[in-house]
Amino acid sequence: MAKQRGAIVVDIERCKGCELCIEACPTSVLRMERKVNGKGYHFAYMEDPGECTGCINCAIVCPDGVISVYRVKVEA
């Protein structure tokens, strides 16, 4: 059965740490990093990358457009 695997890249310096992407993620992949960026905001990262399906939900709700999404089809 074909399955999709995804991955995201967060533009760390532009992330404002609003956490809306974490709410939007259907597979609970994302968490906030303990570290902060240059402006003092915590930023999102993939805690559980194996679960990402590349659905782009996190990216379209991101108000600052900091998330890029990549997706491939894989065989389970």
- Binding residues for another protein, rule: CB under 8 A, are 2-3, 5-7, 9, 14, 16-20, 22-24, 41, 46, 49, 54, 56-57, 59-76
Written as one letter, the residue type at 62 is C
In the complex, minimum distance from the CB of residue 28 to another protein, in angstroms, rounded to a whole number: 14
Q: Which amino acid is at 36?
A: V
Q: Specify whether the CB–CB gap between 49 and 39 falls below 8 A.
A: no
Q: Which is nearer to another protein, 2 or 35 (CB)?
A: 2
User: Among residues 34 and 76, whose Cβ is nearest to another protein?
Assistant: 76
The dihedral sign for the CA sequence 47, 26, 55, 71:
positive
Least distance CB 38 / another protein (angstroms): 11
E strand or H helix at 61 = helix 57-61
